[in-house]
Amino acid sequence: MGVTVDVHEVFKYPFEQVVASFLRKYPNPMDKNVISVKIVEERKDVSTGIIYRKRIAVCQNVVPEILRKVNILKVPNIQLEEESWFNPQERNMAIRSHCLTWTQYASMKEESVFRESTENPNWTEFIQKGRISITGAGFLNCVLESFARSFLRQGVQKGIRIMEMLLKEQCGAPLAE
Query: Domain for residue 157, yes or no?
Result: yes
The domain that holds 158 is classified in CATH as: 3.30.530.20
The letter for the amino acid at 82 is E
C-alpha angle 28/32/52, rounded to 5°? 50
Q: In whole angstroms, what is the distance from residue 150 CA to residue 129 CA?
A: 16
What pLDDT shows up at residue 177?
62
The pLDDT value given to residue 87: 97
Q: What is the pLDDT of residue 1?
A: 65
Residue count (the chain): 177
- How confident is the model over 30-88, as pLDDT tens digits? 888 899 999 999 999 999 999 999 999 999 988 888 878 777 788 899 999 999 999 99
For residue 177, is it within any domain? Answer: no
| Beta carbons of 24 and 30 less than 8 angstroms apart | no
Residue 90 in any domain: the answer is yes
Element (H, E) at 83: strand 77-87
Q: pLDDT tens digit string along 121-172? A: 999 999 999 898 888 767 777 878 888 888 888 888 888 999 999 999 888 8
- List, for residues 5-34, the tens digit of each pLDDT value: 899 999 999 999 999 999 999 998 888 889
0.85 exceeded by pTM? yes
106 vs 117, residue with greater confidence:
117
> What mean pLDDT value characterizes the chain?
89
Q: Could you tell me if residue 176 is inside a domain?
A: no
Per-position DSSP letters for the chain, written without gaps between them: --EEEEEEEEESS-HHHHHHHHHT-SSBTTBTTEEEEEEEEEEE-TTT-PEEEEEEEEEE--S-TTGGGSGGG--SEEEEEEEEEEETTTTEEEEEEEE-SSTTTEEEEEEEEEEE-SS-TTSEEEEEEEEEEE-SSTTHHHHHHHHHHHHHHHHHHHHHHHHHHHHHHHH-SPPP-
* Domain extent for 141: 2-171
Which ranges of 51-171 would DSSP assign to H, the alpha helix?
140-171
Give me the pLDDT at residue 65, please. Answer: 84
Please state the domain count of the chain: 1
What is the rounded CA–CA span in Å between residue 132 and residue 60? 17
Q: Does 109 have pLDDT greater than 70?
A: yes
Tell whether 137 is covered by a domain.
yes
